[in-house]
């Protein structure tokens, strides 16, 4: 490690509509180090990375590359400087082979190489970094893990100096994670800097040379390898000025059991049993990709699963999303734009769709009726602007989320399953969404909130479950948890050891 950092960020600030995501961050990344980046939800990790990779412009501050100030105005600028990131859904050209992806990437036409030359060269690169994949294989059928490896090979080939990995093991098995860690070690050996964002403390301890902890938009500390202990990290992560956790839920659970989950399991979830009473809010947390999402996807009929469900004592089968909906289970997924809304349809159409159950019937019903019905829902949910005829895509994240919830309110579901209900939602709308969720509980619905935000889980839940590596590791009433205890349990587990 030389004294001159590869990248230095000084006094970095980023303001979003009046709120500061970064409040003067100083951080240095050295050549050939694996640098962990830790921090609770909303600490500013993604914002920092997006500035470094040219997605956002900073409000103030300076970025130095090899000691000289540089301007990074776009992802293209970042790429020219050899700075890049591998995101969870790594983007490869599906119609290309692995070799074409590595050599040509997404800029075909610049290089004129024979098919043979491309694949020979790709084989050499893959071999050099120890990735056992056939370069002639199509990128179309690759697993998430393989896509990451190919993307890393591509950045290696393009001589990137710094590569950011944001929660790279979230969707990987234990074996796949080990393969990734070996590749990271290889790249580090080539002098490449790796910035590694993760909530899994053991991974950070295993592969990082140093780790910086962000807290409330500021650097809390940078720790050397031996100093990265659970105790230190927890202490540095928790924002003491925000420990007065707000509780929104003062308890609406009724005696009657509404939902019984018996041995629910998927490929990535060990059998889970749980009973939820009417009006009860169950919070499920854990590392992203560690299995908590599986519970939601199984209940919503999105994922193949085993086990038995009973609603009000009656067996229900949720083989697919339609069956789940009919049974009275509403899944409000995280990626609402892709999974839950038709952005080009009006709010009224989106809200009326589940009630009418088909687009054909939607086209048949009078628009005045639809608008009136949707307007009533929008009023109750405080959707702004209150214009039921406007296309959903013109609304903010928070208001889109309310529209998704509105879709289900019309159907009078018995069980509401929320996944990351306030991710990408502006602060003003967060409290309103909490109010809506608790309103549903007060009306007697059973609620399950799956979230990586511990504050959110503690604010909303009657009972909290932590799922790690596909298994329930802890369950207790909300009152039994402190923020620190929950954070410690959430970070402790290791990625899955079995394939
Ligand atoms: P982390 O990645 O550590 O969870 P983020 O960088 O995503 O944190 O977010 C830091 C803060 O900035 C949060 O309060 C978040 O709500 C806010 N924020 C992030 N992106 C945006 C955006 N595009 N618009 C408004 N606020 C944002
Ligand atoms: Mg983030």
Buried/exposed 124-154: b ≥16 CB within 10 Å, e otherwise = ebbeebebebebeeebeebeebbbbbbbbbb
For the chain, give the mean pLDDT.
88
Domain boundaries, the chain: 7-92+142-242, 257-492
Q: What confidence score (pLDDT) does residue 152 get?
A: 93
- For residue range 165-221, list pLDDT tens digits in order: 988 887 787 788 889 999 999 999 999 999 999 888 889 999 999 999 999 899 999
Most confident range (mean pLDDT) of 151-160, 276-285, 415-424 is: 276-285
- Whether the pLDDT of residue 497 is over 50: the answer is no
Average pLDDT value for residue range 276-285:
98
To test ligand 1's pocket by mutation, which of 13, 39, 44 has the most ligand atoms within 8 angstroms of CB? 44
pLDDT at 114 over 90: no
Among 16, 51, 167, which is best to mutate for testing ligand 1, by the most ligand atoms less than 8 A from CB? 16
Tokens of 449: 């909130």
pLDDT above 70 covers what percent of the chain? 92
DSSP state of 165: E
Q: Calculate mean pLDDT across residues 301-312.
A: 95
Task: Identify which has the larger pLDDT, 495 or 143.
Answer: 143
Least confident range from 269-273, 348-352, 405-409: namely 405-409
Strands 306-311 and 281-285: unpaired
Give mean pLDDT, residues 229-244.
Answer: 77
State the pLDDT at residue 496: 35
pLDDT band, very low/low/confident/very high, at 241 (cuts 50, 70, 90): low
CATH superfamily of the 7-92+142-242 domain: P-loop containing nucleotide triphosphate hydrolases (3.40.50.300)
For residues 139 and 155, the answer to whether their CB atoms sit within 8 Å is no
Q: What is the pLDDT of residue 447?
A: 97
| Residue of 18, 23, 36, 46 to test ligand 1 pocket, by largest number of atoms within 8 Å of CB | 46
pLDDT tens per residue, range 373-428: 889 888 888 888 899 999 998 888 788 888 888 887 777 899 999 999 888 776 66
* Cα(42) to centroid(ligand 1), Å: 5
Q: Residue 394: CB within 6 Å of ligand 1?
A: no
Query: Which residue's C-alpha comes closest to atom 5 of ligand 1?
Result: 44
* pLDDT in the model for residue 6: 98
Nearest to 291 by CA among 17, 77, 490: 490
CATH of 257-492, one of 3.30.56.10, 3.40.50.300, 2.60.120.10, 3.40.50.510: 3.40.50.300
* More confident of the two residues 107 and 380: 380
pLDDT one-digit tens code per residue, 248-264 = 898 999 999 999 999 99
C-alpha of residue 423 to centroid of ligand 1, in Å: 9
Q: Which residue has the higher pLDDT, 221 or 3?
A: 221
Residue 341 has pLDDT above 70, yes or no: yes
- CA distances in angstroms from 346 to 282, 341, 360, 388, listed in the order given: 32, 10, 15, 7
Residue 473 CA to chain centroid, in angstroms? Answer: 21
Q: Which residue has the higher pLDDT, 353 or 148?
A: 148
Looking at the predicted structure, is the pLDDT value of residue 281 above 70? yes
* Centroid of ligand 1 to alpha carbon of 45 (angstroms): 8
What's the pLDDT tens digit per position in 312-336? Answer: 999 999 999 889 988 999 998 887 6
Contacts of 124 (CB under 8 A, 6+ apart): none
Rounded-to-integer distance, Cα 133 and Cα 122, Å: 10
**How many A from CA of 13 to the centre of ligand 1?**
12
What confidence score (pLDDT) does residue 242 get? Answer: 58
| Average pLDDT for 297-304 | 95
Measure 226 CA to ligand 2 centroid, in angstroms.
25
Q: Is 298 in the pocket of ligand 1 (CB under 6 A)?
A: no
Ligand 1 pocket, residue 16 CB under 6 Å: yes
Task: Assess whether the region 7-92+142-242 and the region 257-492 belong to the same CATH fold.
Answer: yes
Q: Are 196 and 35 in contact (CB under 8 A)?
A: yes
CA–CA separation, 178 and 168 (whole Å): 12
Instruction: Kindly state the helix (H) or strand (E) to which residue 293 belongs, with its residue range.
Output: helix 292-299
CA 44–ligand 1 middle distance (angstroms): 6
**Residue 482 and residue 238: Cα distance in Å, rounded?**
12
Contact between residue 9 and residue 173 where contact means Cβ atoms under 8 Å apart: no
Whether 415 contacts 330, CB under 8 Å = yes
Given a cut of 90, whether residue 27 has pLDDT beyond it is yes
Q: For residue 197, report the distance from its CA to the centre of ligand 1, in Å.
A: 15
46 in ligand 1 pocket by Cβ < 6 Å?
A: yes
For ligand 1, atom 13, name the residue with the nearest CA: 42
Least trusted range by pLDDT, from 33-42, 88-97, 186-195, 449-458: 88-97
SS3 166: strand
Distance CA(123)–CA(149), nearest Å, equals 13
pLDDT average, residue stretch 357-377: 78
Q: What number of residues does the chain have?
A: 499
Which token pair is 225? 């390898």
Give the pairing of strands 162-166 and 193-197: parallel
Distance CA 496, CA 470 (A): 8
pLDDT at residue 499, as a whole number: 30
3-state secondary structure of 238: coil
Identify whether 385 is preceded by a cis peptide bond (ω within 30 of 0). Answer: yes
- Res 493: pLDDT: 56
Which positions ≥6 away from 353 have C-beta within 8 Å? 342, 345, 359, 362, 407
- Kindly report the number of other CB atoms within 10 A of residue 326's CB atom: 15
Q: How far apart are CA 108 and CA 372, in angstroms?
A: 51
């Amino acid at each position: 490690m030389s004294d001159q950092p590869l990248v230095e960020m000084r006094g970095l600030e980023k303001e979003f509509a009046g709120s500061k995501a970064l409040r003067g961050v100083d951080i240095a990344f050295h050549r050939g180090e694996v640098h962990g980046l830790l921090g609770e939800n909303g600490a500013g990790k993604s914002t920092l990375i997006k500035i470094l990779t040219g997605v956002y412009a900073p409000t103030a501050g300076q970025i130095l590359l090899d000691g000289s100030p540089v301007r990074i105005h776009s992802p293209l600028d970042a790429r020219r400087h050899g700075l890049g990131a591998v995101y969870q859904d790594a983007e490869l050209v599906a119609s290309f082979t692995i070799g074409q992806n590595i050599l040509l990437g997404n800029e075909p036409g610049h290089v004129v190489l024979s098919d043979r030359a491309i694949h020979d060269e790709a084989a050499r690169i893959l071999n050099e970094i120890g990735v056992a994949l056939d370069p002639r294989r199509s990128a179309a059928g690759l697993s998430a893990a393989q896509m990451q490896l190919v993307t890393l090979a591509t950045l290696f080939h393009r001589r990137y100096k710094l590569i950011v990995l944001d929660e790279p093991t979230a969707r990987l098995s234990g074996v796949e994670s080990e393969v990734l860690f070996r590749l990271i070690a290889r790249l580090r050996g080539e002098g490449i800097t790796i910035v590694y964002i993760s909530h899994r403390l053991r991974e950070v301890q295993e592969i990082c040379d140093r780790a910086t902890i962000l807290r409330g938009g500021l650097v809390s500390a940078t720790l050397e390898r031996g100093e990265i202990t659970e105790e230190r990290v927890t202490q540095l992560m928790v924002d003491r000025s925000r420990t007065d956790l707000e509780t929104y839920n003062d308890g609406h659970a009724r005696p009657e059991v509404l939902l019984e989950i018996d041995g629910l399991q998927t490929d990535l979830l060990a059998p889970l049993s749980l009973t939820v009473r009417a009006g009860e809010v169950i919070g499920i947390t854990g590392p992203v990709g560690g299995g908590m999402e599986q519970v939601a996807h199984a209940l919503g009929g999105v994922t193949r699963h085993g086990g038995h469900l009973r609603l009000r004592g009656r067996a229900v089968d949720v083989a697919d999303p339609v069956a789940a909906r009919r049974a009275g289970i509403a899944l409000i997924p995280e990626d609402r734009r892709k999974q839950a809304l038709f952005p080009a349809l009006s709010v009224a159409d989106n809200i009326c769709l589940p009630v009418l159950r088909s687009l054909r019937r939607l086209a048949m019903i009078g628009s005045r009726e639809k608008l009136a019905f949707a307007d009533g829902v929008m009023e109750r949910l405080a959707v702004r602007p209150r214009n039921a005829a406007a296309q959903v895509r013109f609304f903010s994240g928070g208001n889109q989320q309310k529209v998704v919830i509105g879709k289900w309110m019309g159907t009078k579901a018995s069980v509401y399953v929320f996944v990351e209900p306030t991710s990408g939602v502006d602060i003003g709308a967060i409290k309103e969404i909490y109010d809506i969720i608790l309103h549903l509980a007060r009306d007697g619905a059973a609620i399950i909130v799956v979230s990586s935000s511990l504050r959110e889980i503690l604010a909303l839940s009657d009972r909290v479950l932590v799922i790690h590596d596909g298994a329930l590791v802890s369950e207790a009433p909300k009152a039994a948890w402190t923020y620190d205890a929950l954070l410690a349990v959430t970070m402790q587990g290791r990625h899955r050891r079995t394939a």
